[in-house]
Chains A and B, each alone.
Chain A
C-alpha cells in the first residue's frame, strides 16, 4: 500500500487526473468529503491535507509520498526527498504592493506574509532594515490598511492583486508542485515508489506537451 498526501483543492484534482493516467483510479474528489480515499485496487490511498501541512504528513512518515508546492518546501524545509517537479500548480512567489511603492528608496520595509522564512531570506540579502508581519490569509489587506508596505505572497494570475489596486513589484522565484517522499519509505518501498514515480513523471510530461 502506498499512501499519498495531497494538498486539498486544485492540486489534488489535477493530481488525481494524473494518477488515473498511471492506471491508479480514485473516485472523483467532488463526490466525496472523505479525507482518506482508497483507490479501486486497494494498493493506493490518498490523504487530503491542508497545503501547508502536506509535507508534515510525509516527513512524519504517516504518508509515504506526497505532492506539495515548492513554496511550502522553500518555507518549511521539510526533511523529505524532493524527487521531481511536476508541471501542475505553477505560479510564482512575488513581492507586491501599491503601484507607487519604491522599495529601493525605503530605509525600513514592513512586509506582511504567510511565508515568513521566504521573506526573511530575501530581505536578509538587502541593505534595508525590515520587519515581517506573519499573517495567515488575505495578505493583500495589509498594505491596503497601511499595516505593511509590501506583501510577499504567491501570485498565479495576478487578478486578486489587480482587484485590490496592488501590483507585482518583484518576482522572487517560480513555484510548481513537487513529488516528495519520506526518507525511510523511499528505501523500504523502493520498487513500488520508484515505479509509481516513473509512471507519474511520464503522465505529467504527456499532459504538459
Chain B
C-alpha cells in the first residue's frame, strides 16, 4: 500500500503516541506471530470480517497468514510462561480475503489485551485506554458505548428462546436496530405481545448512561440481566474516577454475535466518523480455550480508518501533542524549557541548525516564542 506524505505522518504519529500511552500504563508490546495453524481459525471465533488467506507449509500443512491479531496472540501465549498480570499491546497488520470481491486485503490494527484477573477495575482500565487512544490522536467528541454480553441472552433464556438459529437472528436484528423486522420475526415464533415489545425496545436502548440504565432495569426479568447491569454500573463508577465518564454512553443493542464476548462489551466512535473506530470487550471463554488464561479483556483499533479520519478532519492534528522545535543553538535554559513541554505530555522533536530562526511548530500552527505558544494554550483553555 502506498501512503501519501500526510498518511505516513499520521501513521508514525499514531504508532509513537499509542506505544507511549500503553507503555505508561504498564503494557508491553507483543509481537503478533505471522502464521497460525488452520485449526485455530476454524475451531475458534475470530473477529475479522475477512476470510483467512491459506498457505501450504513445506510439510503440506495448511497454515494461515495472520488473520486475527487476538487469536494469534492467544495461540502464541500458550507456549510461553505465565504471569499473574499480563498486559500487552500490539501493532500489526492482518491479512484476509474479502468475501464478495475475492481480493486480498491488509488492515493495520493496534490494540491491547489485558489478562489480569477479572475485576471492574481491569475492564474500566481497558475502556479508559480505548477512550484515551482516540483522545491522544486528537479526535474530539469521543463516545464510548458499553453493553454486556449476558443482557440479551439472559432475556432470551427467560422467554424460552433456545434455538441457536432463532437466537442468532434476534441478535442480528437487535444489532441492526431493526425493531419492525424483529417484531415480525418474534410474532412468527408465537411470542406474546408484551414480550415482543420488551425485546424490541432493546434495539433503541442507547444514549445517556443514567437514563438508559434506568430503562434497562425496567426490562430485567431475571438475576442474570440485573447483575449484568450492576456490573456495568460498577465499571462506570471506576470510569468516573478515571475522569472519562463524559465520553461514556450505553447501547444495550450492541449485541454479542457468535458468543464471542463473555462480559462487558464496548466500542468507540467520534463525531464525523462513519463507523466505529475501536471495539472490544471481555472474552474469557476464548482466552481459556486457546491460551489457558482464565481472563482476558481487550480492544482493537482500525488504524487505517483512524488515519483516514485524521486526514478528513484536519483540525485533528491541531489537537495532537506533537511539536517540532527549531532553534539556531542549544543551551541549558532552552533545554529546560523543552523538558517542561515534554513533562506536559508533548512529544518534542528538536531541530538545531544555525540557519534556523526559533520556532515551535504544532501540526498546523507556528509560534515564534515560548510565550506565544503558552498564550495560545491559555486561549484554548478559555
A79 to B270, CA, bound (A): 16
Q: Does A49 contact B (CB under 8 A)?
A: no
A26 to B186, CA, bound (A): 37
* Set B100, B141, B276: member contacting A183, Cβ < 8 A: B276
Flag if A84 contacts B206 (CB, 8 Å). no
Question: Which residue on B lies nearest to A79, using beta carbons?
Answer: B275
Q: Does A186 contact B (CB under 8 A)?
A: yes
Rounded to whole Å, the gap between the CB of B169 and the closest CB of chain A is 14
Assuming the A-B contacts A117-B100, A190-B206, A194-B204, are A184 and B178 also in contact, with contact meaning beta carbons closer than 8 angstroms in the complex?
no
Question: Which residue on B lies nearest to A201, using beta carbons?
Answer: B180
Q: Does A81 contact B (CB under 8 A)?
A: yes
Flag if A84 contacts B179 (CB, 8 Å). yes
Rounded to whole Å, the gap between the CB of B252 and the closest CB of chain A is 13
How many A residues are at the interface, by size bracket? 20 to 34
Q: Does A153 contact B (CB under 8 A)?
A: no
Q: Does B273 contact A (CB under 8 A)?
A: yes
Q: Does B167 contact A (CB under 8 A)?
A: no
B261-313 residues with Cβ-Cβ distance < 8 A to A are 269-276
Flag if B274 contacts A85 (CB, 8 Å). no
* Chain A hits for B177, CB < 8 A: 81-83, 181, 186
A187 to B249, CA, bound (A): 10
A80 to B175, CA, bound (A): 10
* Chain A hits for B141, CB < 8 A: 188
Flag if A184 contacts B273 (CB, 8 Å). yes
Assuming the A-B contacts A60-B274, A61-B274, A187-B143, are A85 and B181 also in contact, with contact meaning beta carbons closer than 8 angstroms in the complex?
yes
Q: Does A182 contact B (CB under 8 A)?
A: yes
Flag if B181 contacts A187 (CB, 8 Å). no
Flag if A83 contacts B179 (CB, 8 Å). yes
Main secondary structure of the interface of A (DSSP, over half): mixed
Q: Does B207 contact A (CB under 8 A)?
A: yes
Interface string of B139-167 (1 = CB under 8 A from A): 00101010000000000000000000000
* Set A59, A60, A85, A181: member contacting B180, Cβ < 8 A: A85
Rounded to whole Å, the gap between the CB of B230 and the closest CB of chain A is 24
* Set B145, B178, B269: member contacting A81, Cβ < 8 A: B178
Question: Which residue on A lies nearest to B249, using beta carbons?
Answer: A187
A140-188 residues with Cβ-Cβ distance < 8 A to B are 181-184, 186-188
* Set A83, A117, A184, A190: member contacting B274, Cβ < 8 A: A184
* Chain A hits for B100, CB < 8 A: 117
A182 to B145, CA, bound (A): 16
Question: Which residue on A lies nearest to B143, using beta carbons?
Answer: A187
Q: Does B176 contact A (CB under 8 A)?
A: yes
Flag if A82 contacts B176 (CB, 8 Å). yes
Flag if B269 contacts A187 (CB, 8 Å). yes
* Chain B hits for A117, CB < 8 A: 100
* Chain B hits for A190, CB < 8 A: 206-207
Question: Which residue on B lies nearest to A178, using beta carbons?
Answer: B178
Assuming the A-B contacts A59-B274, A187-B145, A187-B206, are A82 and B178 also in contact, with contact meaning beta carbons closer than 8 angstroms in the complex?
yes
* Set A85, A181, A183, A194: member contacting B275, Cβ < 8 A: A183
Q: A81-B177, A83-B179, A183-B269 are in contact. List 6 more A-B contacts (CB 8 A).
A: A81-B176, A83-B177, A184-B269, A184-B272, A187-B269, A188-B143
Show 9 A/B contacts (Cβ-Cβ < 8 Å), sorted by A: A61-B272, A61-B273, A61-B274, A81-B178, A82-B178, A117-B100, A184-B274, A188-B143, A188-B271
CB within 8 Å of B: which residues of A? 59-61, 79-85, 117, 181-184, 186-188, 190, 194
The 5 closest A-B pairs by CB, nearest first: A61-B274, A84-B180, A81-B177, A82-B178, A184-B269
